[in-house]
Amino acid sequence: MAERDALACEHFARPAIDVALDLIGRTLDVRDAETVRSAVIVETEAYGGVEDLASHAAFRPGGRAAIMRETPGLIYVYAAYGMYPCLNIVTNPEGEPSAVLIRGILPLEASKSIDGPGRSARWLGVTLDDQGQSICGDRFWVSTSRVPLPVERTRRIGITRGVDTEWRYVARLE
DNA sequence: CGCAAGATTATT
DNA sequence: ATAATCTTGCGA
């Protein structure tokens, strides 16, 4: 079998804000029993750090979000409003609980981008059971290659606290 | 044990 | 604008 074009887990052992920007333009692959879904990451948000009140690690540190304290490169999945699984990648700088939320993707076989964390995770086939999986494993991996895209930096969406920090990145698509 | 809030989405 | 739907945290 050919070498897989995958980033090593150590790549995510950096501040979430750095990883969030770095991920824009990279391809995310998710292997299913039958197929492999591939999509370019076009929108991300960084969460974490002791000062980030919007982070689950700050106001909901127990339960699933505890994984944000674990090894970088692990998958954190939470159900937004109890209904929609959302995909995160744990990115631990120095024991600081943090993660990057995948908010938008551009499926390779599609022409239209998918907007929103719930819709993105659903297209990729991500479920709550993927909690704890590795982003550099058999089911999930991210390409070493990166499509150069114009990136915009904005405030995060859908939150009521920590609204001042500009920790969201969006690729500007033609 | 009960209740309110929340990193959302589809429908009215 | 608002319902759908459930985990987590907090107060009684």
Please tell me the pTM assigned to this model: 0.96
Q: Please tell me the distance from the alpha carbon of residue A128 to that of residue A19, in angstroms, as a whole number.
A: 23
Distance A69 CA to C9 C1' (A): 19
The nt closest to A80 (CA vs C1′) is B8
Write the CA distances from A87 to A77, A148, A174, integer angstroms.
5, 23, 25
**pLDDT band, very low/low/confident/very high, at A1 (cuts 50, 70, 90):** low
Q: Please check the confidence at residue A173 and state whether its pLDDT lies above 80.
A: yes
Q: What is the mean pLDDT of residues A141-150?
A: 97
First and final C-alpha spacing in chain A: 36
Our CA dihedral for A25, A79, A48, A45, rounded to 10 degrees, sits at: 30
How far apart CA A60 and CA A63 sit, in angstroms, is 8
Nucleotides of C under 7 A from a protein CB: 4-9
Give every CB contact of residue A10 below 8 A, 6+ residues apart in sequence: A72, A73
Which residues partner with A46 through β-bridges? A100
* Distance of A78 CA from C10 C1′ (whole Å): 20
DSSP letter for A74, please.
Answer: B
> Which pLDDT score, from 0 to 100, does residue A88 have?
98
